[in-house]
Amino acid sequence: MTTVWLPCGDYHENYTEDQGWWQSRLIKGKMILLLLIVFVAIPLLSKYEIILDEYWLSVANVIGYTVMGALGVQLLIGYAGLITLGHAAFIAVGAYTSTLLILRFPWPQVVLDLGLAYPISILVAAIVAGFWSVLFGLPSARVKGFYLILTTMAAQFITVDFILTQYVSRIGGRGQAFSLPPGTIKIGPWDIETDVQRYYLMIILLTFSVIIMANLVRSRVGRAWIAIRDNDIAAETLGINIVWYKLLNFFVAGFLAGLAGAFWVCNCAALSPEHFPWFLSLWLVGVILIGGGGIDGAIFGSIFMVLIMEFLQMAAIPLSEYYPKVLISFAFIKEMAFGLAICAFLIYEPRGLSYRWWQIKNYFNLWPFSY
């Protein structure tokens, strides 16, 4: 018989129980409370400006966007050992696919009246970004390590700097940006224009992304990815088709990146390649280095990095009254803070914030027993 809750752990009789999301009533209660805070409390506090205001809701949207991008990087690097430095390219593909479908595709009038163009474009953008990721994941069948890094970097330069900048951005006689006027982004009868509406969309897409990734990594597919990460030769000897699973990993990572890009469209008045620089790819890798392993690592790392940059910007604004060049050079300050944060975590907390969170949870679960 499975126990409901014990202070020093849970005991299960089969693999399904061991891999369950909410393994006890205590965990279920904590997760329901967390969902209520995320879906109800934060939007209400921001709407009525109790403690929070809409500025912090916009910060939450940036955090969610960063988490969705970082989940794909975590899937590639953390679970399959496939190092990437070009993930921003797949986010850009998702954003531009969604934008082109909204602005240029001849939708039937009934689809436009029902406000389904943007929701459909999100799904299509994720699929297109997934296949585009597979295209640049093909070399992973023959190369790995440093050479795979160069391949993913090529994805960034070919996709963003060449295809999107020189060709896609100029569709329709435009210069470098697609204008997204109010009323363009709709879901059903609602125009996605306020930070609250963007927040709910972000939470829904982020929850969907987490469910996809959490179910995959605890399945047969996830175990195959982990085996390839630990020792690809041994995994192939055991009968795992490493080429298939690597390409599947690239597809899922690109799919998640496409969701992030399609969401970012509703935050832009105009979409341009400048939204997806190579630094964004480095940023996402830094986020998972700081956050640590697993899904919670991507979440903690995104929260930490986005809030640090916001606090730095808040500190720079009053300083600009005495030192006007502070705001001008803030981009360099941001990059310096990013590098220092990575160095500090690699030296003092190499396992990341998720490991620290794991220690805190264990402390409370095992208290008062020190071991």
> Do 365 and 7 meet the contact criterion of CB atoms below 8 Å apart?
yes
Q: Per-residue pLDDT tens for 303-348? A: 999 999 888 888 777 776 666 676 667 677 788 888 899 999 989 8
Q: Do residue 328 and residue 345 come from a single domain?
A: yes
Is 32 part of any domain? no
The residue segments making up the domain with residue 339 are 279-357
Supply the pTM of this predicted model.
0.90
> How does DSSP assign 220-261, residue by residue?
HHHHHHHHHHH-HHHHHHTT--HHHHHHHHHHHHHHHHHHHH
For range 174-199, the mean pLDDT:
81
Answer with the one of 226, 250, 276 that is the final residue of a domain: 276
Is 331 part of any domain? yes
Q: Residues near 318 by Cβ (< 8 Å), separated by ≥ 6? A: none
Is 15 part of any domain? no
Q: Per-residue pLDDT tens for 100-136? A: 999 888 888 888 888 889 999 999 999 999 999 999 9
Is 76 part of any domain? yes
Is 16 part of any domain? no
Question: In degrees, to the nearest 5, what angle opens at C-alpha 126 toward C-alphas 124 and 131?
Answer: 95
The residue length of the chain stands at 371
Is 352 part of any domain? yes
H or E segment and range at residue 271: strand 270-271
